[in-house]
Amino acid sequence: MQNDQTHFAKGEVEFLTFTIDGEEYGIDILKVKEIRAYENVTKIVNTPPFILGVINLRGYIVPIVDMRVKFNLRIEAYDQFTVVIVLTIAGRLIGMVVDGVSDVVSLATEQILPAPRLGAIQDVRYVIGIGAIDGRMILLIDLERWLSVEDIVQIDKAEHP
């Protein structure tokens, strides 16, 4: 697993950028396993709404999340043009639905600006920096914090004491 600190160590870091509801986000490319088209999921009862269900990824059962649901953003219909980024987070495979994948950008340390402070009202600790390249602004995301892993992966202790 890549250490987040290495993002800003020195030299250039590569990010995969994607769009959700018009905003451009960047994630560490080393966490990306593959990009694939959306396929029908098997719904699972008793899970938060942003967990769409599970799919079969070459024999592995992989949950699919939709961050647009989690952040109350506009949701497009799911079809074969919907893109799913399969990520490795904390040793687990998780698929994330996005509006579209843009490209891979290479950011030098000086192109990464510190994350804005929005005060206590908005918790945006998942933004670890802002990439500025060719006038674009890319929100660089710490996936572990963004997906709030405990939402997804932790065994619900309340149900299984």
Partner 1 sequence: MSSSIEIGQFFEVFFEESEELLAEMEGLLLAIDVSAPDKEECNAIFRAAHSIKGGAAMFGLTDMVELTHIMESLLDNIRKGNMRLSDGHVNGFLKAKDILKRQLSGHHQHLPIGSEVAEDVLVLLRDLSNQRTNNLGAATHLDASEIQATLKGGSPIVEDAHCFRIELPFTSVEDLNALTAELGLKGKLSCENLPDGKTVLQLETTQTLDDVVAICSFLLNPRDIHITQASVLPVDKDKEACALPIVTATNKASSESSYDKSRRGEAISGRQDSRFIRVNLDKADQLINLVGELVITQAMIDQHAGRLDAINHEQLLNHLTTLARNTRDLQESVMSIRMIPMDLVFSRFPRMVKELAAKLGKKAKLITLGGATELDKGLIERIIDPLTHLVRNSIDHGLELPHERLANNKAETGTIILSAVHDSGNVVLQVHDDGIGLDRGSIMQKASDCGISVSAEMSDEEVWQFIFAPGFTTARTVTDISGRGVGMDVVKRNIAAMGGSVDIQSNQGQGTTVTISLPLTLAILEGMLIRTGNEVYILPLLAVVECLQPVSGQIHEITGKGLVIHVRDEYIPLMLLYELFAIQPRLTNPTEGIVVVVEALGKKTALLVDSLVGQQQIVVKNLETNFRRIPWIAGATILGDGSVSLILDVPSLLNITSQFCTKQTCYNLASS
Q: Name the residue nearer to partner 1 (CB basis): 54 or 133.
A: 54
Of 41, 34, 54, 56, which is closest to residue 101 (Cα–Cα)?
A: 34
User: Interface mask (CB under 8 A) for partner 1, residues 9-48, using x and -?
Assistant: -------------------------------xxxxxxxx-
Amino acid at 135: G
Q: Name the residue nearer to partner 1 (CB basis): 90 or 113.
A: 90
Q: Does 60 bind partner 1 (CB under 8 A)?
A: yes
Q: Measured from the CB of residue 26, what is the shortest distance to partner 1 in angstroms? A: 24
* Window of 9-17, 19-27, 55-63, 105-113 that interacts with partner 1 by CB under 8 A: 55-63
**Total binding residues toward partner 1, as defined by CB under 8 A:** 29
Of 43, 4, 3, which is closest to residue 129 (Cα–Cα)?
A: 4
Q: Measured from the CB of residue 141, what is the shortest distance to partner 1 in angstroms? A: 20
Binding site for partner 1 (CB under 8 A): 40-47, 53-56, 58-63, 92-94, 152-156, 158-160
